[in-house]
Chains A and B, each alone.
Chain A
Amino acid sequence: MSDIVLFAAFPYVAVVLAIGGGFYRFRHDRFSYSSLSSELLEKRRLFWGSVPWHYGITIVLLAHLVAFLVPGVWSRVIAAPATLYTLEVIGFAFALAALMGLCVLIARRLTQQRIRSVTTIMDWVLLAVLLLQVALGFWVSLVYRWGADWYVHTAVPWLISLASLNPQTQYVSSLPWLVKLHMLNGFVVIALFAFSRLAHLVALPFWYLWRPYQLVIRNR
């Protein structure tokens, strides 16, 4: 029963909150869509936090995403043991970068008076959830080796079943609780998306690459 609540119902709630809340916020409080950078107030520590965190987490998330989107290709790629080892090491390195960056960012927020004055409660909630998530992922990859492989046979079918509106919790129900917590907390992050500064994720300005430099806008 609890499996159904946690692994079949909660993910939908989280996604609906993210999408519905995101649209509502965009429609009614677009002003609040911002990455809320604090670089103006403090710069040196931000470099050691923000850069490893963002690059680390981007690569790790992309790996999760690719394995989910094209599990067949992913399985074939990691079939060669040498490739699997290499990918695990690379993933491990980026996860470590993300974890360390996040720790620097948290320390910076705790110790720098200027940064504390622009920190909201939601910032602390988000940082705690993210730290838990990254630490869990890191720990899981350490304790239960070759996650690049078993992820494709456990979490991916579960996620696909969720995506096809036919949730199958049996794929994950027998997994160790550490792994389960990582999955659940992942959906907590998604649930927080529309209610925190995480919303800046969808604002990533890729269209800048194609647009002309200058923008002139007229009424009429």
Chain B
Amino acid sequence: MKIQSQVSMVFHLDKCIGCHTCTVACKNIWTDRKGAEYMYWNNVETKPGTGYPTRWEDQGKYRGGWVLGGKKGRLRLRLQGKWGTLGNIFYNPYLPTLDDYFEPWTYDYQNLFDAPEGDDQPTARAISMVTGRYMDTIEAGPNWDDDLGGSQVYANNDPNLDHATEEERRLMEEIGRVVFFYLPRICNHCLNPGCVAACPAGAIYKRGEDGIVLVSQERCRAWRMCISGCPYKKTYFNWSTGKAEKCILCYPRLESGQPPACFHSCVGRIRYVGLVLYDADRIEAAASAPQAELVQAQRDAILDPFDPKVIAAAQAAGIPDAKIDAAQKSPVYKFVKRWHLALPLHPEFRTLPMLFYVPPMGPVLAKMDNGKYDTMDAKAEGLAPMLSALEKSRVPLRYMASLFSAGNEEIIRKVYRKLVAVRVYMRAQRVKDIPEAEVQKALAEGGTDAREVEAIFRLTSLPTFEERFVVPAMERETAVEALFPPLDPIARNYPTHKGEVGIGFHHDPQRGM
């Protein structure tokens, strides 16, 4: 057993209102720089939708993540082997281009002041932030398909709908009742990261202390394999400095005991940040599990922080008591491991992503019947409306399974049954309009009990800041040390100011000669 600790996050999608405040906070702090304008380390996507960059989930095009291959069925990068990396180093066939994201632009505001008097109002034309030239037609932008952009084109192009039946598609697309939800995405800080494995320069590494995946800006040589290697397309290429960049989980904030900016700014308070302890020896087995068992294999790699054996091994591995304590109070541990409610995004990419999502309860399938709005088949099955809703959700289980469980619908069904049980139980408590027998049935169906349901309700609806964010600040002496890039043998005094990217530079990170 090789115990490591990892900072991890849960997104409760039922609470996400798609306001993009997280994106704005992240953008203002980290990617408000030349060459990084097009980057969104944090973005919020409308699902079903094509996402950012367009169709990033389509690994036939982008070749991200891992596959089981060869005669022995061993884990290998979908992108290419190591020799393939060297062979393709002059030209990476699977690299997205700027057009797969969008060309960033600003506006010619000065024209509003300087335009000569005329018959029409002056306009501020768009100017490309790459070429500095006017852009006549803007063809894409950040969140171009937000709220589906008023059309079904984006939803129809969602790769997760490739296996949907005609009926399922029809129900999702019914005009006027179009259904969607939001998916906030940052770097998953995976246990088996594809970007680290794909980087031939060895510039990307996982921090042993907290599992944050970082790019050493001084080691990156712009071989750009990480961008392809990451199936979530969460490593980006700074076209100006010629370096890869990615979400740093706001590690300078974390080290001083503050949560990441995306977490801190979240209006719906959908995010939970905590530590989990995991067994590094199980990573390979978990990542090469059969597809349907991937979620469970990842859960198994996360260890019980209350188990005396785990505690002893963690102490032996040099994990401070403050972290073990935090792991015991971790909201992430509860959602992921104890309650089995939060699931990884696209576990079939086999990177063991360490962000988890509680799937949203979609609007239920209903129809107008004799002027009366009724949930489908509820009466026929003799169930309360909320119970019948589960498998009749307008967002089909299969779609959710494609996102969160590598196609295993049983896992999704269990999550929803438990979520339904929470709702039924709490409604019975508060509104008192559900008979006790039905409550008991819901609890049994959800595989849960009153105590657990109340704990889930508490952490879902009424958590304090301290319950949502449980990560101890780094010890002061380690924090100072951590400001030195570990790959840099020259111990210099690295200030961290905004103009210097906050990643630690003496001088501006300008494009090389």
Complex formed: what's the CA distance from A120 to B220 in Å? 20
Distance in Å: Cβ of A140 to nearest Cβ of chain B: 26
Please, which residue of chain A has its CB at the minimum distance from the CB of B240? Answer: A118
Chain A residues with CB under 8 Å of B199's CB are 208
Whether B217 contacts A31 by the Cβ 8 Å rule is yes
Our pick among B133, B221, B280 for the contact of A35 (Cβ within 8 Å) is B221
Our pick among B89, B93, B130, B220 for the contact of A41 (Cβ within 8 Å) is B130
Chain A residues with CB under 8 Å of B242's CB are 34-37
Whether A34 contacts B206 by the Cβ 8 Å rule is no
| A122 in contact (CB, < 8 A) | yes
Whether A46 contacts B91 by the Cβ 8 Å rule is yes
Whether B209 contacts A218 by the Cβ 8 Å rule is yes
| A33 in contact (CB, < 8 A) | yes
Whether A116 contacts B131 by the Cβ 8 Å rule is yes
Whether A217 contacts B205 by the Cβ 8 Å rule is yes
Please, which residue of chain B has its CB at the minimum distance from the CB of A32? Answer: B512
Distance in Å: Cβ of B404 to nearest Cβ of chain A: 24
Whether A43 contacts B221 by the Cβ 8 Å rule is no
Q: A114-B130, A214-B193 are in contact. Are A31 and B205 (CB under 8 A)?
A: no
Q: Render A76-120 as a binary contact track against B, CB cut-off 8 A, 1 for contact.
A: 000000000000000000000000000000000000011011101
Complex formed: what's the CA distance from A216 to B131 in Å? 38
Q: A34-B220, A35-B242, A50-B90 are in contact. Are A43 and B95 (CB under 8 A)?
A: yes
A-B pairs under 8 A by CB, number: 150
Q: Render B93-113 as a binary contact track against A, CB cut-off 8 A, 1 for contact.
A: 101111000000000000000
Please report which residues of chain A, range 14-51, place their CB below 8 angstroms from some CB of chain B when the two chains form the complex.
27, 29-43, 46-47, 50-51
Chain A residues with CB under 8 Å of B83's CB are 209
Complex formed: what's the CA distance from A86 to B90 in Å? 27
Whether B97 contacts A41 by the Cβ 8 Å rule is yes
Whether A120 contacts B205 by the Cβ 8 Å rule is no
| A153 in contact (CB, < 8 A) | no
Whether A40 contacts B97 by the Cβ 8 Å rule is yes
Segment at the interface with B among A66-74, A160-168, A170-178, A194-202: A194-202
| B70 in contact (CB, < 8 A) | no
| B197 in contact (CB, < 8 A) | yes
Complex formed: what's the CA distance from A35 to B219 in Å? 12
Whether A113 contacts B131 by the Cβ 8 Å rule is yes
Whether B512 contacts A31 by the Cβ 8 Å rule is yes
Our pick among B91, B192, B219, B511 for the contact of A36 (Cβ within 8 Å) is B511
Whether B513 contacts A35 by the Cβ 8 Å rule is no
Please report which residues of chain B, range 188-207, place their CB below 8 angstroms from some CB of chain A when the two chains form the complex.
192-193, 196-197, 199-202, 204-207
| A2 in contact (CB, < 8 A) | no
Whether B206 contacts A214 by the Cβ 8 Å rule is yes
Whether A118 contacts B208 by the Cβ 8 Å rule is no
Q: Render B73-96 as a binary contact track against A, CB cut-off 8 A, 1 for contact.
A: 000010000110110011111011
Whether A211 contacts B202 by the Cβ 8 Å rule is yes
Chain A residues with CB under 8 Å of B4's CB are 216
Whether B224 contacts A39 by the Cβ 8 Å rule is yes
Chain B residues with CB under 8 Å of A42's CB are 97
Q: Render B210-222 as a binary contact track against A, CB cut-off 8 A, 1 for contact.
A: 0000000111111
Q: A34-B242, A213-B197, A217-B208 are in contact. Are A39 and B91 (CB under 8 A)?
A: yes
| A1 in contact (CB, < 8 A) | no
Our pick among B130, B196, B482, B513 for the contact of A214 (Cβ within 8 Å) is B196
Please, which residue of chain B has its CB at the minimum distance from the CB of A206? Answer: B86
- B90, B240, B490, B510: most-surrounded residue (chain A CB, <10 A): B90
Complex formed: what's the CA distance from A54 to B4 in Å? 42
| B356 in contact (CB, < 8 A) | no
| B132 in contact (CB, < 8 A) | yes
Whether B202 contacts A208 by the Cβ 8 Å rule is yes
| A215 in contact (CB, < 8 A) | yes
Complex formed: what's the CA distance from A195 to B193 in Å? 35
Distance in Å: Cβ of B203 to nearest Cβ of chain A: 9
Whether A213 contacts B196 by the Cβ 8 Å rule is yes
Whether A208 contacts B512 by the Cβ 8 Å rule is no
Distance in Å: Cβ of B132 to nearest Cβ of chain A: 7
Our pick among A30, A55, A197, A216 for the contact of B208 (Cβ within 8 Å) is A216
Distance in Å: Cβ of B68 to nearest Cβ of chain A: 15
Whether A120 contacts B511 by the Cβ 8 Å rule is yes
Distance in Å: Cβ of A188 to nearest Cβ of chain B: 16
Complex formed: what's the CA distance from A20 to B60 in Å? 46
Whether A215 contacts B91 by the Cβ 8 Å rule is no
| B239 in contact (CB, < 8 A) | yes
Distance in Å: Cβ of A102 to nearest Cβ of chain B: 13
Complex formed: what's the CA distance from A205 to B240 in Å? 22
Distance in Å: Cβ of B324 to nearest Cβ of chain A: 17
Listed by A's residue number, 20 A-B pairs whose Cβ atoms lie within 8 Å are A30-B218, A34-B222, A39-B224, A47-B93, A51-B90, A120-B511, A120-B513, A196-B513, A200-B221, A205-B200, A205-B202, A205-B223, A208-B199, A208-B201, A213-B77, A213-B196, A214-B197, A214-B206, A216-B280, A217-B487
Besides A122-B513, A197-B512, A220-B481, 7 more A-B contacts (Cβ < 8 Å) are: A31-B509, A51-B90, A205-B202, A208-B85, A215-B206, A219-B481, A219-B486
| 7 A-B pairs closest in CB distance | A32-B512, A218-B208, A213-B197, A205-B200, A208-B200, A36-B242, A34-B242
